[in-house]
Homo-oligomer: A and B are copies of this chain.
């Protein structure tokens, strides 16, 4: 890519970014779009969004989006700090050094726009030049800064997590344990078995239990009822908007018929639901139960000490928030979950492979000659300068962004199949899957297929990895710079909520239940953000030109998401910051890849001493990671005796505890078994409609 192509791309994306932001600024104040742009508030906010996003304190974010929201914003804060330092080093020191090198070609300032951006990369530095020691120092400095910031953030967020626990009001999930694989002696019910076991081994702390039931059929019926309700509401809405006067006789007649038909079906389904709910003998018990304890420490005892002599029986784990429980998958047994895990593993691999083929094709677009070879009829069009710049600089990134957006739902489905018991568990697992997927299909696939598919072999020859990476990574610098620049548009389109806007407009004729604010899709957003961190860190030494663009991306993200977490997304669960370790590990991984590439670059640049002197750096980084692993990770996995007992004692004498405990007994009742609220509600909603006909 030449400099003018880059400028075109930057210009285009800046325009899009500004246009999108402007559209948002205009649309958000119109009450018609409140449901899209401020579903969390019942009114259109009047203050300008950018200053408001800037002024908001972390306490505000905590209150609005939970600790997960805070962690999400901290990812941006951390990245901005890292890339501010990196940009100062990279643009201030490395870039001039690279540009003034003469490895590639004589400098000719007059023809700057037609210069390849390779002139700004390390490739342009003379082999064996002493200037490379600046690059060497930069690697050590940036690793040091990043590790220091990582430590600081990890410490900060673990403190927040502890604070969050100590100041939380009593929560059912802290007192409750999910017990699975309950063994049954003949004739005994699951409830009796649970009662007997916990009265025997936890006599002083055991409070109550709720056996889980097979409610698949009931859930299907409720789902049917909900669908019919939605259709009824929709029909009513359409009738109203077309006016009460019967303009089209045939249409109204058809609609009246339809209304009656749906009403009849709704009544049938509701009758079935009531029948199913009232008849306990119809429901099959699942050998799983939520067991509640009188204290948090009592629950911790049941979780961390194995209960039964047979480790596959009486398996205990943390209960999720009652609202966070994912009920449909309770029916899976230990064995089924195990097989599902295996199947999902294979399916994820296949998905990555399929996607790689797509990427290989898309990457071909950056090489115009290949495109012309594949699609000869396009040759004339491709020879126009703007088109060729668009195709090489913009199209591949757009296609990739577009295709990538289809993957998170698939990954979430995979995680669902694995039998997690909570929505948060599913999303955390999907987040990890997405991360692996993104790193492999977007980063490595583009790095490796860019040159040739045969490059895949480098992973089979460990000793050659650094020098091979040092060749193929710089070769893809243009693509990734373009990718980062394109991402400005994609992150700003988060503001305009294009999909939600579309659904909202379409909803005029096909009413959907959009009264609820959506939840933040952490599982797709976090991997995407981390990918840009990976790209930025790995290209730090190779092509420092990318750093300002990455920094702009993170700054945009910082403002945009601080706004969105306030206005759009309502937290569906709170993991208490459990997403942070993922961010930490990915950053360490990025640093290691950067070290590998640097070792290779100095080798190729005929400065073997620098390569050797870099070898301790990955080892030190891993040791640092090991230290963080021991120092902070346990805090994200479990609360300590110290915290648990302090918190228990603090609340012992509080007057509202008896009420909490009496609520706790019923907290984990399957919502499918609760009296039909939604259906009767919509019954009322549809009543006037029926009356009006």
Contacts and interface: CB of A to CB of B under 8 A. Distances in A.
Interface in A193-229: 200-202
Given A308-B642, A338-B627, 5 more contacts: A302-B641, A306-B640, A311-B631, A311-B633, A311-B634
A309 interface: yes
A632 interface: yes
The 8 closest A-B pairs by CB, nearest first: A311-B634, A304-B304, A306-B640, A307-B641, A304-B305, A305-B641, A309-B640, A201-B641
Interface string A609-644: 000000000000001001100111111001111111
B630 A306 contact: no
B201 A635 contact: no
Contact of A301 (B301, B306, B461): B301
Nearest to A457: B461
A630 B311 CA distance: 7
A342 interface: yes
Contacts of A309: 162, 635, 640, 642-643
A680 interface: no
A312 interface: yes
Nearest to A302: B641
A452 interface: no
Contacts of A338: 626-627
A342 B619 CA distance: 10
Which of A201, A306, A627, A635 has the most B CB atoms < 10 Å from its CB?
A306
Interface of A: 162, 200-202, 297, 300-302, 304-312, 338, 342, 460-462, 623, 626-627, 630-635, 638-645
Identical copies of this chain, number: 2
Dominant secondary structure at the A interface:
helix
Nearest to A166: B309
A576 to B, nearest CB: 14
A306 B301 CA distance: 11
Contact of A623 (B342, B460, B640, B645): B342
B641 A306 contact: yes
Contacts of A202: 641
Nearest to A464: B460
A631 B308 CA distance: 11
A100 B305 CA distance: 60
B311 A632 contact: yes
A399 B643 CA distance: 60
Nearest to A631: B312
Given A460-B462, A462-B460, A642-B201, A300 B305 contact: yes
A642 B307 contact: yes
A640 B460 contact: no
Contacts of A643: 309
B630 A312 contact: yes
17 contacts: A162-B309, A201-B641, A201-B642, A302-B641, A305-B638, A305-B644, A306-B634, A306-B639, A308-B640, A309-B640, A311-B630, A311-B631, A311-B632, A311-B634, A311-B640, A460-B460, A460-B462
A137 to B, nearest CB: 26
A629 to B, nearest CB: 10
Contact of A640 (B162, B307, B342, B638): B307
Contacts of A640: 305-309, 311
Nearest to A197: B642
A162 B460 CA distance: 46
A342 B645 CA distance: 36
Contacts of A632: 311
Nearest to A161: B309
Contacts of A626: 338
A304 to B, nearest CB: 4
Contacts of A301: 301, 305, 641
A340 to B, nearest CB: 13
A633 B310 CA distance: 10
Contacts of A627: 338
A638 B162 CA distance: 28
